Structure formats: C-alpha cells, structure tokens
Amino acid sequence: MSEPVVERHLTPDDLAKSLRRDVYDGLAAAPRTLPPKWFYDERGSGLFEEITRLEEYYLTRAEKAILRGRAAEVAAETGADTLIELGAGSGEKTRLLLGALRSAGTLRRYVPVDVSGDFLAASARRIGAEYPGLSVRAIVADFERHLDVLPDGGRRLVAFLGSTVGNLSPAERRSFYGGLRAALGPGDSLLLGFDLVKDPVRLLAAYDDAQGVTAEFNRNVLRVVNRELGADFVPEAFEHVAVWDAEAEWMEMRLRSATGQRVRIPDLDLELDFAAGEEIRTEISAKFRLAGVRAELEGAGFAVEHWWTDPPGDFALCVAGV
Ligand code: AVJ
C-alpha cells in the first residue's frame, strides 16, 4: 500500500494565530461571539460524535439514510473519479460515497480536506488501506480560505456534508460558493448536505438535548480558550442556550453568564466583565429551503441537478454542476 500524501497549507502556528484573532475580535466586541470552528478539539469532536447518536439529533441519521439510498445515483450522475471531502471526518458517509464510485468503476482519487492534520493523516491512512489502488491526498487547509489549493484534473466531486454550510453566515456562504465555483470547472460537481426548516420544537430539542451533551459541547469552546490562551473561564458558570431565530431561519447556540463575573485572557491581555445574563453567541446553524439553496447556488454559477430528502423531509442532499 502506498502512503497517503499529506499536503499542509495550515501549520499549528497559523491555527494558533487565527484562534487568537477570532477570540479577540469576538469577545472584545458587542455582542460577543465565538466562531463554531473552535469547538472541535479532541474532546469537542468526541462530544459531537456523541451528539450524532442522540435521539433528538436527527441530522446525521437522516443524511446517512439519504446517502445509503442515493450514493449510486450520485456516482452515476457525476461520473466522478475524484472525491474531495471538505471537513472530512464522517467515516461512514465517506465510505458510502467511495463504495458507490468504486462500484461505478470511476473512482481513482480521494482528497480529504480538514484543518486538523493529525486527524486527517490517520483517516487518510485508514481509507488508503481499505481501498487498495486508491490515490489518497490529504490536504490540511481551511475550506473558507484555501479553496484554490484543491488538486485539479479528472472529474471532481466536492462533498460538503452534514449541514456544515449552516455554520456560515449568508455573506460567508456567498463567498464560499463563489470561491468553490471558481476552483471548479466543466465536469465537476458539488454534493451539498443541508438541514431543512422544520417545527422549531424539534430544532430546539436537537440543539438542547435532554442529556445535556450539546450543553457540554457548547461549553467546550471555553475549555479550548482556557487551554490555548491561558484564560480562566469557569465553563460551569455559563448556561447553554439554544434559540430559534424565525426570521433568519437559523438556530443559535449561546453561552449565558449565570452571574456577574470577570474573565482574564492573559495571552490576549484581555479582561472581560460579564454581566449576569450576558451571552456569547457560539454558533449559528442555518436551516434551509430548497428554493433558497438553489438561488444561492445559481447566484454563484452552479446549477442544481438533483436533490433528495429523507422520507420525513428533515434533511436534503443536492448535486449541483457547474
Ligand atoms: C456539525 C455544524 C452541522 O450545526 O448541527 C451540533 C454542529 N451544533 N449540535 C450543527 C452542532 C450543535 C452541527 N454541524
């Protein structure tokens, strides 16, 4: 078996710098925010895995169900020889797509893209061992900034699954779709997974589960800031809050200071005073309608060719061509 190539466009030092900037810009400002990308250290990734198995969190199960039923169609429609997975991680979904492309006889190359190099190297090695003859090129990069580094040649299928696109603001989505379109050409396609607008009661349950796993996942970002920047957040002094914004059609997660408290972040020379009840927004998770997704993709120069939902209509996958 040939060793997978790991191509780095992001060093641990780059990541440390962008964390400092994000924390400084987000917490020194009003209203306070932290971007969701910092949830996912080892503990946070483990908590997210746990979330995906919760009864209330239907997203992952729904997306897998669609993929199980439709991966062969995705393979036939796209004729892809290269699978590029943005934010690679979900072993089972990757295998469904690789399996379908291999059965279709077109599969040659797998390109997982993620900010975490260690994680990527390990999963690239596993996939390489399972698919003899598959060329695996792992790319350590931030898909919001480095879309120009995607390898070219062949028919490429870019998979962006899990409704991760929901973490982007509308402006960030526009720039992401535009950047991706610019990186792709004729014969290439995008496979996008997105969560659909539904009864807010179900959304609130999905983002505020009975066991409190999502609450721990949310507070974990404070542990990351403590560890990486020497801060003294007391995670238990912040309450997990999930809110449905009916106008923007997105879920928000927030951390609400239970009392008045001062937090020090020595590495940023910051002292923050939180009033009782003051909140930090830690995530938006947009919920979509097909018409909106179609309009945004078309605005960027993509054409939606197919889309599917799970039987209850909770989640959708679409294939868009350029
Ligand atoms: C991985 C970004 C799709 O927004 O549903 C899970 C993260 N946040 N529970 C989502 C998450 C709260 C998840 N994404």
pLDDT tens column, 21-31: 999 999 999 99
Residue with CA closest to ligand 1 atom 13: 164
By CB atoms closer than 10 A (0-12, 13-18, 19+), residue 309 is: middle
Would you say the CB of residue 59 lies under 6 angstroms from ligand 1? yes
- CB of 191 within 8 A of CB of 161? yes
pTM score of the predicted model: 0.96
| 239 CA distance to ligand 1 middle (Å) | 18
Q: Is the CB of 214 under 6 A from ligand 1?
A: yes
* Nearest atom (ligand 1) to Cα of 167: 2
For the Cβ of 164 lying below 6 angstroms from any atom of ligand 1, the answer is: yes
DSSP 232-288: ---GGGEEEEEEEETTTTEEEEEEEESS-EEEEEGGGTEEEEEPTT-EEEEEEEE-B
The protein residue with its alpha carbon nearest to ligand 1, atom 10, reads: 285
pLDDT attached to residue 143: 86
pLDDT at 216 > cutoff 60: yes
- Using most ligand atoms within 8 A of CB, pick from 47, 48, 214, 245 the residue to mutate for ligand 1: 48
pLDDT score at 81? 98
Ligand 1 in contact with 124 (CB < 6 A)? Answer: no
- What does the angle CA 182 – CA 298 – CA 253 come to, to the nearest 5 degrees? 90
Which of 77-81, 93-97, 118-122, 185-189 is the least confident region?
118-122
pLDDT (0 to 100) of residue 1: 55
Please tell me the distance between residue 252's alpha carbon and the centre of ligand 1 in angstroms.
10
For helices 59-78 and 91-104, angle between their N-to-C axes, nearest 10 degrees: 20
The answer to whether 67 touches 60, Cβ cutoff 8 Å, is no
For residue 283 and ligand 1, the question of a CB distance below 6 A is answered with yes
Going from the Cα of 39 to the center of ligand 1, the distance in angstroms, rounded, reads 10
Q: For 61, left (φ over 0), alpha (ψ -120 to 50), or beta?
A: alpha
> What's the CA angle centered on 93, arms 87 and 99, to 5 degrees?
120
Q: With a 6 A CB cut-off, is 285 part of the ligand 1 pocket?
A: yes
Any idea how long the chain is? Answer: 322
Mean pLDDT, range 44-62, rounded to an integer: 96
pLDDT digits (tens, 9 = 90+) for 64-78: 999 999 999 999 999
Distance 106 CA to ligand 1 centre (A): 32
Residue pair 6/125 in contact (Cβ under 8 Å)? The answer is no
Q: Note the pLDDT of residue 90.
A: 58
Helix (H, G, I), strand (E, B) or coil at 133: coil
Question: What is the pLDDT averaged over residues 80-85?
Answer: 97
Ligand 1 close to Cβ of residue 166 (< 6 A):
yes
Q: How far is the CA of 62 from the centre of ligand 1 (A)?
A: 14
CA-closest residue to ligand 1 atom 14: 164
ipTM over 0.90: yes
The per-residue pLDDT for range 113-156, each reduced to its tens digit, is 998 888 888 889 899 999 999 999 999 999 888 898 999 999 99
How many other C-beta atoms are found inside a 10 Å radius of the C-beta of residue 75? 23
Could you report the per-residue pLDDT of 287-299, keeping only the tens digit for each? 999 999 999 999 9
The predicted structure's pLDDT at residue 264: 98
Of 19, 187, 28, 27, the closest CA to residue 115 belongs to 19
Q: Which ligand 1 atom is the nearest neighbour of the CA of 283?
A: 8
Predicted pLDDT of residue 146: 86
Q: Write down the pLDDT at residue 144.
A: 85
Does ligand 1 come within 6 angstroms of the Cβ of 163? yes
pLDDT of residue 63: 98
pLDDT at 169: 97
- Give the N- to C-terminal CA distance of the chain in Å, as an integer: 34
Q: What is the pLDDT of residues 106-115, one digit of tens each?
A: 999 999 999 8
Specify the pLDDT at position 89: 62
Distance CA 189, CA 81 (A): 11
